[in-house]
């Protein structure tokens, strides 16, 4: 079982990290996730780390990488369920997870993504309207 499952839930992908992310597994996850975003056209990625109690700079970098890659593929990343101790450790390590959204749990993470998606759709509409104006 050397693979982290990626679950499709509507327009979002959900990943729960339960095991220590060593190099190869992390690379496989990045790869699988980007492929899934591409295949499904997902607009958001939720990463649940509620059972992760130990975090290091490697884990921080992987989360950052996933967020950057997803953004290029037009999907936002939300890390959910972070334990308080993990947040403390991340800040003490000087990792502020830039570019990664966070939420308390999966439900709140989905709300956040829905809001962002809604905002983007509205923006798209506005842009179209602007274009219409220009066309007139």
List contacts with a second copy (CB under 8 A): 1, 3-5, 7-10, 14, 16, 18-20, 48, 50-54, 81, 105-107, 110
Which C-beta is closer to a second copy: that of 50 or that of 71?
50
CB 51 to a second copy: min, Å: 5
| CB 27, min distance to a second copy, A | 17
Residue placing its CB nearer to a second copy in the complex, 75 or 106: 106
State the burial class of residue 10 (Cβ atoms within 10 Å of its Cβ: 0-12, 13-18, 19+): exposed
The strand pairing partners of 8, in sequence order, are 13
127: burial class by Cβ within 10 Å (0-12, 13-18, 19+)?
Answer: exposed
């Amino acid at each position: 079982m050397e693979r982290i499952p990626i679950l499709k839930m509507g327009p979002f992908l959900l990943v729960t990290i339960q095991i220590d992310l060593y190099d190869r597994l992390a690379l496989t996850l990045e790869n699988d996730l980007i492929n899934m975003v591409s295949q499904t056209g997902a607009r958001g990625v939720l990463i649940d780390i509620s059972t992760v109690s130990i975090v290091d700079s490697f884990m921080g970098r992987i989360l950052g990488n996933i967020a950057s890659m997803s953004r290029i593929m037009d999907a936002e990343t939300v890390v959910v369920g972070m334990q308080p101790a993990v947040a403390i450790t991340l800040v003490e390590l000087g990792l502020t997870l830039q570019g990664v959204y966070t939420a308390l749990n999966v439900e709140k993470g989905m709300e956040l993504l829905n809001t962002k998606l809604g905002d983007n759709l509205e923006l798209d509409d506005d842009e179209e309207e602007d274009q219409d104006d220009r066309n007139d």
